[in-house]
Amino acid sequence: MEKLKVLIADDELGMRKGTAKVLDKYLVALPGMEEPVGFDISEASNGLIAKEMLETDHFDLILLDYKMPELSGLEVLDCIRDSQIDILTIMITAYASLEVAVSATKNGAFDFLAKPFSPEELKSVVEKASRHLVAHRQAKRLSEEKRKVRFQFISVLAHELKSPLAAVDSYLQLLKKHVAGEELSKYDHIVERSLVRLDGMRRMILDLLDLTRIESGQKKRELTQIEISAIALKAIETYKVIAHERNIDISLHSETPVHFYADAGEMEIIFNNLISNAVKYNRDKGRVDIYISTDDKHLYLSVSDTGIGMTPEEKEKLFGEFVRIKNEDTHKILGSGLGLSIMKKIVSFYNGKIDVESQRNVGTVFKVVLTRLTEDENK
Amino acid sequence: MKADINTAQKKQILIADDDPDILEQMRFRLEAWGFDVCAVESQKKAEEKIKAGKPALAIYDLMMENQDSGFVLSYLTKKMYPDVPVILITSVTSETGFHFDSSTEETREWIKADAVLDKDIRYEQLESEINRLLKG
Ligand SMILES: Nc1ncnc2c1ncn2[C@@H]1O[C@H](COP(=O)(O)OP(=O)(O)O)[C@@H](O)[C@H]1O
């Protein structure tokens, strides 16, 4: 069981023992904690001792008597503030004087308790302080986790941007030193590779901008009634040439028109990503089939291909940022690994979900379900 | 065309690396140095090539579809053609701090390669290694 460390600083022995007795057996159930929290009690018989204990040991909570010999409660409070000790203070005053309470809270006390107090009053103040403490810690933990994720993201990003730069750099070195002699056509292939890597880099930066705009909420969402199959057709048009080069057939199966309340840009991103992947990870002479349907609650999209597919282990990793699956079939295909992360984020705006069914060397089906939102819900 | 004159005696070098850019740069350099280059991007394809014919020298990336692709290929090459020199390219040193080199007889025996070069390829070093190994 987790215990909060409490220091009772009071020159009256009776007060210390009475308070300790109440808190010793007291358990508080707190939100977000599986088990109730108990208290581990220490005592200080004057302000000076309290100060020394605070300096050598860590406490979560201090019940601090206002009037003590050697060092008063307010002076101890000053020490806590000056040394930036991470502790919550409950000031105990002999008379419920407003003045003392105000100056104590001004100096960083969390709450105060007026003597004499009942066990119930004590418990209630301590419970409130514990809640605050635990919530504060959870928030701190969460922000640290966020920082870590962010840091990870940035280091992967740096790596992903460095690798095309390094490639283009070394190709240019070959050119600069005329390694293959003076005949320009000898360099065609490395120039082509440089352009391909630069294009990949450009796309990655665009994807990254999309992702950050969407995640930060900077991108203005314009929700209107739109016709979904028109957007699908537009996306198909974009990838038709690449598909045609590899004899890949793209068909749209849709009851037209399909109306849905959404942001047109977001729907384009979904279709572009799904269709682009279905073509990229397909085989020559393969197929891509796009299905669109609706009912009064949902919009259903599915994009299936006859491509390289994925193993169950590969499928698990799919939606991570910058995740690209490495195998014999994929290593020549370029991508940022951000497309599906962006899609996942967008789908979450529509309380939706994405399912993937895939079989290695057979093909993949991405199924997206979006929930119809009323105009009110979207605000 | 002066290159055509030596086509007949051009020595073939087999290279396997799963990074298409490294593969391309290597091919480019080796061709400029006057070799006939066979470049493949996987352990599997390299195995097929070895079985199909004997190269003058082979250069393998250590990690391809398997962590130890380069070791496997070195072993296979030496088993079929004990006299074909093998150069292993590895990023093991820079990425994990784990270090080995092929300067001792013992490690050469163990990893089956005649030279080990860092992935951050220094081409002068590669050229001198190739020349050294092909002379011997
Ligand atoms: N239709 C598909 N078939 C097989 N693999 C796919 C398909 N769609 C996505 N993937 C795999 O998921 C990975 C992540 O996809 P995505 O986030 O769109 O990034 P990328 O830019 O690499 O395509 C891809 O690298 C690919 O390995």
Cα B49 to Cα B73: distance, rounded to the nearest angstrom:
11
Mean pLDDT (whole number) for B69-83: 93
Structure tokens at A318: 């799919």
- DSSP 8-state symbol, A117: -
Predicted TM-score of the model (pTM): 0.65
Which of B21, B28, B31 is facing A167, going by the closest CB pair?
Answer: B21
Residue B4 has pLDDT above 60, yes or no: no
Q: For residue A324, report the distance from its CA to the centre of ligand 1, in Å.
A: 6
Residue of B nearest to A164 (CA): B21
pLDDT-based confidence at A379, cuts 50/70/90? very low
Contact by Cβ (8 Å): B89, B119: yes
pLDDT-based confidence at B96, cuts 50/70/90? very low
Q: What is the pLDDT of residue A155?
A: 83
Contact by Cβ (8 Å): B57, B84: yes
Contact by Cβ (8 Å): A193, A167: yes
Residue B92 has pLDDT above 70, yes or no: no
Distance from CA of B20 to the nearest CA of A (A): 7
Structure tokens at A244: 């045609």
The counts of H helices and E strands in chain A are: 10, 12
Mean pLDDT (whole number) for A113-117: 87
Cα A246 to Cα A283: distance, rounded to the nearest angstrom:
8
- Angstrom CA distances, A369 to A56, A270, A354, A372, B83, stand at 57, 12, 7, 10, 61
pLDDT tens digits, A329-353: 787 787 888 899 899 999 999 999 9
pLDDT-based confidence at A137, cuts 50/70/90? confident
Q: For residue B19, report the distance from its CA to the centre of ligand 1, in Å.
A: 18
**Residue of B28, B45, B126 best to disrupt the A interface, most CBs of A under 10 A:** B28
- Angstrom CA distances, A194 to A183, A226, A227, B19, B121, stand at 18, 40, 40, 14, 19
Mean pLDDT (whole number) for A87-114: 82
Which of B18, B24, B32 is facing A331, going by the closest CB pair?
Answer: B18
**Residue of A170, A189, A360 best to disrupt the B interface, most CBs of B under 10 A:** A170
User: How many whole angstroms from its chain centre is CA A10?
Assistant: 45
Return the bridge partners of A90, or none: A63, A111
Residue A362 has pLDDT above 80, yes or no: yes
Q: What are phi and psi of A112, to 5 degrees?
A: -145, 165
Query: Percentage of chain A surpassing pLDDT 90?
Result: 61
Return the bridge partners of A4, or none: A39
- Angstrom CA distances, A182 to A174, A186, A193, A371, B32, stand at 12, 8, 19, 62, 12
Beta strands A223-227 and A259-263, pairing class: antiparallel
Using most ligand atoms within 8 A of CB, pick from A281, A288, A317 the residue to mutate for ligand 1. A281
User: How many whole angstroms from its chain centre is CA A55?
Assistant: 36
Residues with CB under 6 A from ligand 1: A 273, 277-278, 281, 305, 307-310, 318, 323-325, 330, 335-340, 364
Q: Which of the residue ranges A223-232, A282-291, A316-325, B54-63 would you say has the lowest mean pLDDT?
A: A316-325
Residue B6 has pLDDT above 80, yes or no: no
Q: For residue A280, report the distance from its CA to the centre of ligand 1, in Å.
A: 8
Q: What is the pLDDT of residue B108?
A: 62
What's the first-to-final CA gap in chain B, in angstroms?
A: 30
Is the bond preceding residue A312 a cis peptide, omega within 30 degrees?
Answer: no
Cα A71 to Cα B77: distance, rounded to the nearest angstrom:
83
Sheet holding A88-93, edge to edge: A38-44, A3-9, A61-65, A88-93, A111-114
Q: Which of the residue ranges A268-277, B8-17, B113-122 would you say has the lowest mean pLDDT?
A: B113-122
Spatial CA neighbour of B84 closest among B8, B10, B7, B11: B11
Q: Give Cβ neighbours of residue A24 (< 8 Å, ≥ 6 apart).
A: A39, A41
Q: What is the pLDDT of residue A212?
A: 86
pLDDT tens digits, A145-169: 888 878 888 888 888 888 899 899 9
Q: What is the pLDDT of residue B2?
A: 44
Cross-chain Cβ contact A179/B20 below 8 Å: no
Give the nearest ligand 1 atom to A341 CA: 17
Cα A90 to Cα A130: distance, rounded to the nearest angstrom:
11
Structure tokens at B92: 């093991």
Q: What is the pLDDT of residue B3?
A: 46
Contact by Cβ (8 Å): A112, A104: yes
- DSSP 8-state symbol, B34: T
Q: What is the pLDDT of residue A273?
A: 95
